[in-house]
Amino acid sequence: MTEIKTFATAEEAKAFMASFHRYTDPASVSPLKGEAAHEVAVGPVHAGVIEPGHFRFQCMGEDVYNLQIFLGYQHRGVEEEIVRADGNLVRQVALAETCAGDTSIAAATCFSEIIETRDGLQTSAGDRKIRELLLELERIANHVGDLGALAGDVAFLPTASFCGRIRGEYLNMTALLCGNRFGRHAVVPGGLRATFNGKKESQLKDWISRVKKDLDGALKLMFEEPTVLERFEGTGVVSKEVAEEIGLVGVARRASVELKGDVLSRATIRRLEIEEAHKKVFAILECKMETGEWRMQENTSSHSSFPIHQTPFACVVATTQAWRGPLVHAALFDADGKMLRYKIVDPSAHNWQGLAYALRGEQISNFPICNKSFNLSYCGTDR
Amino acid sequence: MFKALIERLKQGFKTGKFPMRGEPNLPPDFRGRPEIDDDTSGDEVEKMKAVCPVKGALSFDFEGAKLDMGKCIFCGRCAEVCDKIRFTKEYRLAVFNRADLVVKAGDHDYVPPKQTNPQALALKHTFQLREVSAGGCAGCELDANVLGTLAWDMGRFGIRFVASPRHADAIYLTGPISKNMQLALDKTYAAAPEPKFLIAAGACAITGGLYKHGHLPDTPAMFIPGCPPHPATTLEALCRFTGRL
């Protein structure tokens, strides 16, 4: 059933649209009325090389009053498939990793921690450190890529070009550790499949110090350019109150709570996180860690060592600070350790509404930079 | 402007010579085309199958052991439990026929196939691709995007990702084709003008990989295996598709 509302003034319409908190009914039509009211539909196949999603910009003249976001195109049943693959740990990890390709390491860490809790496995301190290292590399790579893409979206090509290349360097560092640019198959229950030794440590240290200089130069260039700042500042604002009310997480929340909540704030937070992540990486590299012996259990269907079998059902929740925000995996086990249900909550799931808010009152042409400043995962939300 | 120029001078020229000259800079643990020994027994294949995350990737029949790269996600678990299989540094994985993706035991002298289709060879100087992401994890999309950066710069070879299927010579498909993307994919493919090609990139697009496979709108003209394919694999594949290599 659809309902049409009419408004006398733009302010009234704006106030009404601002009252929407959750996704609206997909079948609903634009509640705007009048000569200047129109709706622009985009997707699911977008113009860039990105994931599918359907957007509807409900506009009054040039201004977007509401952005409706329809997802679900990426749904392929990751959670169900993980439950079905119970007993085949290799397959389960691979499925968890492919929930969102750019968050593979965080997802594998979550899944591994759940299995480690179930089976009472201990990971060595070295393995945990290297997991952290991989996680920080993933964070840096993604933030660098997004800052470059933001520069590209406002046609500031030097930083766009530099960052595109520098992101690749960080992915290659991940590949140096485990053979895959996204850190696939590196983190496994019980430990790590990546090898780390003194040679790699010094190689990585030299590499990251060299690349960090290029990165600092590229980012300084962008954050000091008046034409870029002019476009970023005051664009796509999500106020602190709104951010807290709709429950934003991660970068988007920090930008709204600690700074002004515009595109510039989100870009600044990413820049700060890159700095922090580098500090952490250097600290880990100072630790002189070696990876432990890899002891992932062979595929078994009997979990004799299940330590939480006192209760008929046990839910294990694992959280990892992924680059977008907190990634939560939860699994429900029965007394024998058999997996009954698996649930993944990607940080993106909390933040899509924030993107819709950011675009209110903006022009459609500001969508790319608003979108990139969030860079939410479609596949992580759709699972 | 001067700041940008100074920074550019500092960073230097970064575009690699690959693929026309030189080899790509691959990580030491890179897992490329597998090699299987001649004397691999059925029992050994069973042992490898037990740790394989993808159903049907490994098989054994009268011709011996086989590994289907169209299904393989290159995790390298089989090589850990059995030394009869090795993942080589061979990154030139793309082929034109589905059957060529199956690596047979003793199949050690691999030469990447050459393009023979005159309609594809005509695209040597300009090759416009429309990417369709149909389900999947976005890994393949990210590593396809990388080709546009100045480290790989596929624009040198006239290869571009375009915004509309109407402008495209080929549809570059990634993802296992989820139920909700089937219609959009079919329509996008139908919107591309003839002659058109379908390029299936990644294990998902070729066979569904870890997931259930949807319906391909056409027989792919090229298969690029990997999970996701390394950018070197993809760039070499696209250049080979148009006969540049």
Q: Look up tokens 């106020």; give the residue.
A: A239
Asked if the Cβ–Cβ distance from B161 to A72 is below 8 Å, we say no
Asked whether the beta carbons of residue A379 and residue B151 sit closer than 8 angstroms, the reply is no
**Looking at the partner chain, which of B28, B76, B179 has a beta carbon nearest the beta carbon of A176?**
B28
Domain range annotation of chain A: 89-301
Which of A221, A299, A378 shows the shortest C-beta gap to B51?
A: A299
Least confident piece of the model among A166-170, A249-253, B8-12, B203-207: B8-12
List of chain A residues whose C-beta atoms are within 8 Å of the C-beta of residue B163 = 47-48
DSSP state of B112: P
B98 touches chain A (CB under 8 A): no
Residue B220 reports pLDDT greater than 80: yes
> For residue B6, how many C-alpha atoms fall within 13 Å in the half-sphere facing its CB?
6
Chain B nearest C-alpha distance from A98 (Å): 5
- Contact between A251 and A375 under an 8 Å Cβ cutoff? The reply is no
ipTM higher than the 0.85 cut: yes
A-to-B residue pairs, Cβ atoms closer than 8 angstroms: 168
Where residue A8 falls among pLDDT bands split at 50, 70, 90?
low
What was the pLDDT predicted at A274?
93
How confident is the model over B105-114, as pLDDT tens digits? 878 788 888 8
Q: What is the pLDDT of residues B97-139, one digit of tens each?
A: 888 888 888 787 888 888 888 888 888 888 999 999 998 888 8
Chain B hits for A48, Cβ within 8 Å: 161, 163
Closest residue in A to B182 (Cα) is A73
**Nearest CB to A95 within list B131, B146, B210:** B210
Cβ contacts (< 8 Å) between A298 and chain B: which residues?
A: 50-51
- Asked if B233 reaches chain A (Cβ–Cβ under 8 Å), the answer is no
Which of B51, B165, B178 shows the shortest C-beta gap to A73? B178
Contacts of A76 in chain B (CB under 8 A): 135-136, 176, 178, 211-212
More confident residue, A245 or B18: A245
Closest-CA distance, B110 to chain A, in angstroms, reads 22
Asked if B50 lies within 8 A of A298 by C-beta distance, the reply is yes
Please list every residue in chain A whose beta carbon sits closer than 8 Å to the beta carbon of residue B226: none
Complete DSSP assignment for A115-173: HHHHHT----HHHHHHHHHHHHHHHHHHHHHHHHHHHHHTT-HHHHHHHHHHHHHHHHH
Confidence of residue B6 (pLDDT cuts 50, 70, 90): confident
Contact (CB<8Å) A102/B139: yes
**Is A47's CB within 8 Å of B31's CB?**
no
A179 with B30: Cβ contact below 8 A: yes
CA dist list (Å): B127 to A351, B17, B197: 37, 20, 11
Domains of chain B and any CATH numbers: 118-241 (3.40.50.12280)
Distance (Å, rounded) from C-alpha B230 to C-alpha A161? 20
Going through chain A in order, the beta strands assigned E by DSSP cover 37-42, 54-60, 63-70, 187-188, 191-192, 313-321, 326-334, 339-345
CB contact under 8 A, A165 and B149: yes
Confidence at residue A127, expressed as pLDDT on a 0 to 100 scale: 79
Supply the mean pLDDT for chain B: 87
Q: Domain A89-301 sits in which CATH superfamily? A: Cytochrome-c3 Hydrogenase, chain B (1.10.645.10)
Q: Do B73 and A94 touch (CB under 8 A)?
A: yes
Q: Which residues pair with A269 in a beta bridge?
A: none
3-state SS, residue A381? helix
